[in-house]
Structure 1
Amino acid sequence: MPDFVRLAAHPLRWRLLTELAVSDYRVRELVELAGQSQNLVSYHLRLLRDGGLVTARRSSYDARDSYYHLDLERCAHGLAAAGAALHPALRLTPAPAPVVRGRRPAVLFTCTGNSARSPIAEALLRQRAGGHVEVTSAGSHPRPRLHPHAVRVLRDDHGIDLANQRPRHLGTMADRRFDYVISLCDKVREVCPDFGGRPRRIHWSVPDPADGEQPVFARTVAEIGTRVHHLLPLLTSQEVQP
């Protein structure tokens, strides 16, 4: 039996995979979502970690806690391998380009300084959505300017120019309506205000690259780019009401 099928076939592990497919969570949150004991959830999370489908990262807000993250790329490869192992005709093919119905979904990315992670996510989603998504970013304690390494990596590797963009404060977004509010910082997740319209809250636990050199920023852009790649079909797969 292919490893992915063996790991995903258990009902509780499948529930954990489906929850983590959307957002990063702490153990106690997964316990609440799954309605199972912490010991049982932790045991199955360990199996998923041992199988390489799930990773854990210490929270930058409370280092005693950890956020769990699903590796969607590894899941995609596992699904493809399982299909091909069963029959050659079951090899996965790329999904068709999604079509947006109704108004454009509105997305807000947040982090603390709005100088690296959230503007990186904003820029990558805007580029890849081709005008089909309304996207912006803001921070709880915005820095005076974007980090020069973030600007440089986006310009050199992705052809995105953010030279004239300045960090924004979350307070300036108070009157705007969003369909998705996505935090990329464990600290800002704890202080992010509520927004009208009950947007869907998603968390991506991404380490702050601010103290690193340019290669660190390149890795951060790559991680956020992978997450944006898997976010886009979610944004465009359902009709957004006016």
Structure 2
Amino acid sequence: MVSSAHAVPPAFVRLAAHAVRWRLLSELAYGDLRVRELVALVGEPQNVVSYHLRLLRSDGLVTARRSSHDGRDSYYRLDLERCAETLAAAGTALHPALRLVPAQPAAPAGDPVTSPVTSSVLFVCTGNSARSPVAEALLRHRAGGRAEVASAGSHPKPRTHPDAVRVLRRGYGIDIADRRPRHLDTLTGRRFDYVITLCDKVREVCPEPGGHSQRLHWSIPDPAATGDGTGQAGYPAFERAAAEIDTRIRYLLPVLTHPPRP
């Protein structure tokens, strides 16, 4: 017999079992959203949505970050690493044989391509000098040829930021020293399966993708700005930004291979 102490459902099960919270988790699984957007998607009053977001944040499944474009807004993000940990713990709590081992979606650098290109992705930020070129390089590196990748900016800078070049070279063995920022207009007419904005400002000005493109948003502070939300700028900010982008890309890869929804 299992003791009553062990019969208490794990935190992930208790939180995710509620219909509204499960819907919130599902909507945040692919990109960051503001409260008013979640209200519209979930179809519940703002006070109800805010209440359930607080519960999800209390266990670290969801985090919030103040918009760098409009400080009155916050973007909510699903912490996929935390979800993976708590979901795995829930399986183990039920039975040791149900321990979940997260898949390793990233193809090691240098591996031969064993599958054709499955998706095309465009990363967009304002200057196309830091976040979006880092995302482009990391996805190309991780995908092993399974995705067509590009990046662009609404107001491109004259050159790629030196710290973006340095963080990729030092941390990931990727060299983008020769790349130059490009304008979003240079990609007019090209179709992408996914258009991912990485800064809050460009999300407001980026035109809606045509056709069947899916638009996602990753609210990532500009590492080149003075003060990135932690009070620290400079190279450490680029390390943090690259690490967050890399984590999101590792979870994006299975989506590119097996799209979750039309």
Which TM-score bucket, shorter chain as reference? over 0.9
Q: 2:258 maps to what in 1?
A: 237
AA at the equivalent of 1:178: F
Q: 2:138 maps to what in 1?
A: 124
Please give the per-residue CA displacement for 1:90-126, whole angstroms capped at 9, x wherever unaligned: 0013437699987531100000000000111100000
Q: 2:101 maps to what in 1?
A: 93
Matched, 1:184 2:162: no
Please give the per-residue CA displacement for 1:5-29, whole angstroms capped at 9, x wherever unaligned: 1111111000000110111000000
Query: Aligned residues, how many?
Result: 240
Query: Displacement, 1:195?
Result: 3.2
Aligned-partner SS, 2:101: coil
Aligned-partner SS, 2:141: helix
Please give the per-residue CA displacement for 1:175-227, whole angstroms capped at 9, x wherever unaligned: 10100000000010011123332310000000000032111100110000000
CA distance in 2, matches of 1:210, 1:64: 22
Matched, 1:57 2:71: no
CA distance in 1, matches of 2:116, 2:39: 35
**Structure of greater relative contact order (alpha carbons < 8 Å, 6+ residues apart):** 1
Q: 1:66 maps to what in 2?
A: 74
Unaligned runs of 5+ in 2: 1-8, 107-112, 226-232
Contact 1:117 1:220 in 2 (8 A): yes
Indicate which of 54, 58, 64 corresponds to 1:46: 54
Contact 2:105 2:253 in 1 (8 A): no
Scaled by the length of structure 2, the TM-score of the pair is 0.87
Scaled by the length of structure 1, the TM-score of the pair is 0.94
Indicate the RMSD between aligned Cα atoms, in angstroms: 1.9
Q: Percent identity?
A: 69
CA distance in 2, matches of 1:78, 1:125: 26
AA at the equivalent of 1:44: H
Contact 1:100 1:237 in 2 (8 A): no
Bigger Rg over Cα: 2
Aligned-partner SS, 1:216: helix
